[in-house]
Amino acid sequence: MNPDTPIRLAACTAFGLTDAGRVRRENQDRFLIDPALNLVAVADGMGGHAFGARASATALDCIATRLAADATSRTHADAAHIDDPDATVHDASACAMRAAADALDHANATLHAMNLRERLAHRAMGTTLTGIWQPRGSARLISLHIGDSRLYRYRDGALMQLSRDQTLYQQALESGAIEHLPPRNVLLQALGPLPSIVPVVQAHAWLPGDRYLLCSDGLHGEVPHGEIEAVLGSMTPHDIGQACGRLVALALDAGGKDNITAVIACFDGD
């Protein structure tokens, strides 16, 4: 999906670009910007040839379908709540976090069943997935994450990584085992290969002027943090497309050894 113009969501404007890079023939990255759901997500597929692309596309479709069904059910529940004066007030963000976790579980179950059905155990397809979602009735952003695609937030002149890579490399760094670090791309979590997952779902308070970047490791693995920060700091919401282009170009200039995807969401404000 490569829209030509930025897409307007409820509280932000989003745009994304994806590129196969300079080495790989096929692009297995996919991204989604869904204004009806207020959902933005990036998925980086794995499994070789068509399997990775199929996994990332299937996962995004599963997430969107599940969250859309949840939105419909919550609309009916809200109507029942209004009709029942004794109903307990519920926390919209907590409900949304449960719905996001359920959507990830559903995507994993779907991909895992495909692997079993098509006997792909020795070459199981799978995908990372990182997204932000602002459901109706929630003032907060819900982030959903599994794998090593990343979520960043640029605010007050600084770029902060909000997600944590679920990789053997990151685990080794955190344990202090830095003398013999494993390869950066060995995933501990992904959608599809295993029957159960441990995703990370969190709620974030957004502020006017925030810029969120969702990207695959083809970008953050090639471009230093400071260069990404400089691009997010120098852009305006009016040149969001050019900013995505600059990020992809930086990754290509650094070698472009992997597929590259960058999606930026600019929240309302100066």
Helix 225-234 with 240-253: angle, nearest 10 deg: 160
Residue with tokens 């479709």: 61
Give pLDDT, residue 89.
Answer: 44
Report how far residue 225's alpha carbon sits from residue 234's, in angstroms, rounded to the nearest whole number.
Answer: 14
Q: What is the tens place of the pLDDT at every residue in 106-150? A: 999 999 999 999 876 567 899 999 999 999 878 899 999 999 999
- List, in order of start, the domains of the chain with CATH numbers: 7-267 (3.60.40.10)
Give pLDDT, residue 124.
Answer: 81
Q: What is the pTM of this model?
A: 0.91
* Mean predicted lDDT score pLDDT of the chain: 91
By the 10 Å C-beta count (0-12 exposed, 13-18 middle, 19+ buried), 161 is classed as middle
Report how far residue 133's alpha carbon sits from residue 125's, in angstroms, rounded to the nearest whole number.
Answer: 25
Q: How many CB atoms lie within 10 A of CB 118?
A: 12
By the 10 Å C-beta count (0-12 exposed, 13-18 middle, 19+ buried), 4 is classed as exposed
Residue with tokens 């490399």: 169
